[in-house]
Amino acid sequence: MALDILVVDDERDIRELVSGVLTDEGYECRVAGDSGTALRMVDERRPSLVLLDVWLHGSPMDGLEVFAAIKAR
């Protein structure tokens, strides 16, 4: 079974590039463009790894707040 990686970044180009490379290498990737979507996806299925943008411009929470929320779950 492939590792499940969640890529969280507010920039679509970065999400697509990173998830595309990881998918090509055999990993299962999910993507989120904001904090709310990221937290919902974590709640639905906890990923093996989260690649998380620190800033997350335009989101209610920045990446560090999302990290803390994931850690608290």
Residue 13: pLDDT band by 50, 70, 90 thresholds? very high
Backbone angles phi, psi at 8, to 5 degrees: -120, 115
How many domains does the structure of the chain reveal? Answer: 1
Domain span including residue 31: 4-72
Q: Is the dihedral of CA 21, 23, 26, 29 positive or negative?
A: positive
CATH code (residue 53)? 3.40.50.2300
- What's the order of all strands across the beta sheet hosting 28-32? 28-32, 4-8, 49-52
Give the single-character DSSP code of 2.
P
Q: Distance from CA of residue 44 to its chain's centroid?
A: 13
Tell me the pLDDT tens digit for each residue of 19-67.
999 999 999 999 999 999 999 999 999 999 999 999 999 999 999 999 9
